[in-house]
């Protein structure tokens, strides 16, 4: 009986112990490789946050790894995008989409001047109000503002700024986004930039953070950068709450009157979120609008949901969109699937396929888009 017990104990210890034949070096190598992947993901995340901060506007504490110091008080940075596009029924085409330059000049420790000049390809467009075909200028002043930042909680900007509605517009620089295309609801509803006064800040509540943006501007119209053609200013705001780095939830408002229409007033309401845990990121935005006035072109509404997973330098991404334009009777639905290659920390190569269905046209449309984008 004792021999049986001894044999049983010996076998239990044998199976419980690590295999003697296992190679310790292989186990250590696997652990090192896993740590390398983790470090690479964290470095990519850090680079993304630095680029997002850089693209958001002036920041006196921003690190200056990239760009060129033109003199002791003026720094030049920017980004560029080149794309290949193929839409169903149309020839494929190369497209020099954007070349943007950032000029940043601190006047002292509280005042800063920032400007973004955008060079983009020459193209023609149809004016929605008159139906006339007009040329679009090749050079545009995207932003120009004087920034006053006495403290994190209270700041002010005067000039032309990115409209703080949702999260995509204020982070619209192509190297920051995972797709070449922008969601329809981002392109069609809210103006990308506004000219006026912006108050902003960050408040801290323990481990929670809250950003606020409150603004007053000329609003939409024929020449909003130069003058306001009606007696009603546009106003709006966005509040974003972060319980941690893994989640951000925001709410936006825009109230505006468009002088291109005799009696048109529109109020836009938006919700957005961004959830990120390790390699997985999910984000989305939704907009509903209320249009008033007999000449109003209608009330747009829509949204998108996008998800992505990163493995090392490769990020597959997918997005679903739903959007109904101001004059549309039926909503458009678009599905986007693509992949991003993170070649260097500022350089990305993106490719995607699209399927667009619904809307007021018959059938469906497909497309393929690819682009290379980088900060410098």
pLDDT of residue 323: 95
- Domain contains 155: yes
pLDDT of residue 62: 39
pLDDT of residue 221: 63
- Domain contains 33: yes
For residues 332 and 185, the answer to whether their CB atoms sit within 8 Å is no
Question: Using CA atoms, how far apart are residues 293 and 339, in angstroms rounded to an integer?
Answer: 44
- Domain contains 284: yes
- Residue count of the chain: 376
Beta bridge partners of 357: 333
Distance of CA 188 to the CA centre of its chain: 15
pTM for the model stands at 0.77
**Residue 44 belongs to domain spanning:** 20-375
Q: Per-residue pLDDT for the chain (376 aa), expressed as one digit of tens each?
A: 444 444 444 444 444 444 444 456 655 555 656 556 555 555 555 555 554 554 455 443 333 456 677 777 889 999 999 999 999 988 999 988 889 999 999 999 999 999 999 987 655 565 655 556 565 657 889 999 999 999 999 999 999 999 999 999 999 899 999 999 999 999 989 989 999 999 999 999 999 999 999 999 987 765 565 556 556 789 999 999 999 999 999 999 999 876 666 667 889 999 999 999 999 999 999 999 987 766 666 788 999 999 999 999 999 999 999 999 887 888 899 999 999 999 988 899 999 999 998 877 766 789 999 999 999 9
Q: How many domains does the chain have?
A: 1
The CATH number that applies at residue 368 is 2.40.160.10
Q: What's the CA angle centered on 121, arms 119 and 127, to 5 degrees?
A: 105
- Domain contains 120: yes
- Domain contains 2: no
pLDDT of residue 35: 58
Question: Using CA atoms, how far apart are residues 278 and 261, in angstroms rounded to an integer?
Answer: 48
- Domain contains 75: yes
Q: What is the CA radius of gyration of the chain?
A: 25
- Domain contains 1: no
- Domain contains 196: yes
């Amino acid at each position: 009986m004792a021999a049986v017990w001894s044999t049983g104990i010996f076998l239990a210890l044998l199976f419980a112990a690590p295999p003697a034949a296992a190679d310790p070096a292989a186990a250590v190598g696997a652990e090192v490789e896993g740590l390398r992947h983790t470090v690479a993901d964290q470095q990519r995340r850090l680079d993304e946050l630095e680029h997002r901060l850089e693209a958001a506007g002036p920041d006196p504490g921003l690190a200056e790894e990239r760009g060129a110091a033109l003199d002791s008080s003026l720094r030049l940075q920017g980004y560029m995008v080149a794309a290949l596009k193929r839409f169903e029924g149309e020839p494929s085409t190369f497209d020099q989409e954007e070349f943007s330059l950032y000029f940043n000049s601190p006047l002292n420790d509280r005042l800063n001047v920032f400007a973004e000049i955008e060079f983009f390809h020459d193209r023609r467009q149809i004016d929605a109000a008159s139906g006339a075909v007009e040329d679009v200028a090749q050079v545009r002043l995207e932003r120009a503002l004087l920034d006053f930042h006495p403290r994190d909680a209270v700041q002010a900007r005067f000039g032309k700024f990115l409209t703080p509605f949702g999260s995509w517009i204020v982070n619209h620089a192509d190297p920051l986004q995972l797709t070449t295309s922008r969601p329809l609801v981002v392109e069609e509803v809210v103006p990308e930039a506004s000219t006026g006064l912006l108050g902003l800040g960050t408040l801290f509540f323990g481990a929670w953070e809250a950003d606020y943006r409150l603004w007053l501007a000329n609003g939409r119209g024929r020449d909003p950068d130069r003058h306001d053609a009606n007696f009603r200013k546009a106003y709006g705001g966005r509040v974003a709450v972060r319980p941690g780095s893994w989640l951000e939830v925001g709410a936006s408002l825009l109230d505006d009157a468009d002088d291109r229409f005799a009696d048109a007033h529109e109020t836009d309401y938006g919700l957005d979120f961004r959830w990120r845990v390790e390699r997985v990121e999910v984000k989305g935005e939704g907009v509903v609008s209320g249009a008033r006035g007999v000449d109003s072109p209608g009330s747009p509404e829509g949204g998108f949901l996008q998800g992505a997973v990163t493995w090392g330098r490769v990020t597959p991404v997918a997005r679903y969109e739903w959007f109904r334009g101001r004059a549309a009777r039926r909503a458009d639905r678009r599905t986007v699937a693509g992949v991003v290659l993170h070649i260097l920390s500022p350089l990305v190569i993106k490719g995607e396929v699209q399927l667009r269905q619904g809307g007021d046209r018959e059938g469906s449309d497909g497309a393929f888009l690819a682009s290379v984008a980088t900060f410098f």
